[in-house]
Structure 1
Amino acid sequence: MGDLWTVGGAAVLLPLVTTTAIVFATRVSWAMAGFTMVCIAVGWLASAGAPAADELPALGLPWLAVALCVLMASALRDSDVAHHLEARRDPLTGLRNRTALDEAVGELAAGRRAGRMVAVLIADIDHFKAINDRHGHLAGDDVLRAVAARMERALHTAGELYRAGGEEFVALVPDVDELRAVALAEALRSAVAGHTIDDLRVTVSVGVAARAGTSFDWDAAYADADRALYRAKSGGRNRVAIAPDAGAAASAARSAA
């Protein structure tokens, strides 16, 4: 009986300890770690030879229990991850939302390097209220989805596009100079202006601000980009405008580099 409990205890402790070690050492999912341990267990039992009949429950049941626990833990973790991602996605456009934007801004500020340039682009759909008023909110939703998709493709991997709210979108582009930031803003503008959406001619105006230094002041950068956006709107819409002090910020970044 003592041997049986020794075998059973080893059968319990070995999978538990090893599976936990795999998860925390490699950061793989619990499901993957559990699958790995089942494979190891099969090989271990095969190499050790067939156990006696009265040892089978002690050997098999602990592994089954661990496998079930691993599957349950994996399902819970996957559910938490899915909930986390869903809470940071705009349900209409599929872009990251304001919550995700706030988190990204915090990460930029925390990981700031002296002289590193960060560009803030604010894109706003021109005459969006008129589109809603004349064609209805369903048409407005179609416009938001199409504009988001086209600008996201235009930005590609240069930065991240967020729906900040309403018809306003924000792009954060790290490690980019002023000329590149303006070129990206123009790419966003032209990606929308070059097509019609549900037979509607839709355009966006884009404000650009570039900031560099030892700390990232999001409020100042956003205010600069917002003022530039106002200039683009006032200048006739469907255009790109850059914050007046963006050139000075770019020069400061080059001097510090």
Structure 2
Amino acid sequence: MTDTTTGMPIPGVSVILSDQRTGTVTDSLGHYRFRNITAGHHIIEISHLGYKTLVEHIDITANEVHHFSLEPSFLKNEGVTITAVGNATSIRKAPIPISRVNRSELMAVASSNIIDALSKQPGISQVSTGPAISKPVIRGLGYNRLVVINDGLRQEGQQWGDEHGIEIDEASVNRVEIVKGPASLIYGSDAIAGVINIVTTVPVPVNTFRGSVTGAYQTNNRQASLSANIAGNKNGFNWNAWTSHRSAMDYKNRYDGRVFNSKFNEHNAGGYMG
């Protein structure tokens, strides 16, 4: 990995095979390495602060070397690759408007659930039927008129009952990709309003270990939340584990005071390896 202007190697570049859900970073000499990759056609996404993001289609047949050069830029190109359903494609080549919300943006917003956090985005709102129960709405349409996807699987339980919200732990979400407008040809006839594609797990680079602990508190209903996540990649073997806890007392309003039976207690845990 080199600089197009100077020809010098670039260390610390993020190199991701989007459709394989694996990635790595370049060393001090600008070298990177993937192991145990399936032969065939792949999409590689290369990004580094201060350089334009590069998205290329490559064919891998055996042990081979691919050299790339990055062009300096004062702005980081937010190139996103959609891989939840259908064929992987760059966001710049997508035929419909797509926006992306990163984990850092979600964590910066005080919210009671993932849909509550997304409702701060333009064109996105929510229908709330109780504490921590929210349904997404895109441009005025919701329920069975939009599709919610979690790591490639549809989440449809919230469509048929007012007391059901999105059953996805906000603490496990890595990023959210939002398609606004009709997307029926790609996602099915019920995607009239759009699509909310939630990606929870993204593998860490090879021979890397990461961990995080986050917490939040809200004063009205005394809601407290705590989550922890650890992930690693040892010679291409990925693993990730997370857990979270959230509890709240009865909330109050200016007319009735405390609203009884509005408290809740929630535990979540998950993980994967492979």
Structure with the largest fraction of strand: 2
Greater relative contact order (Cα < 8 A, sep 6+): 1
Q: State the TM-score, normalized to the length of structure 2.
A: 0.21
Rg larger for: 1
Structure (1/2) with the larger helix percentage: 1
TM-score by length of 1: 0.22
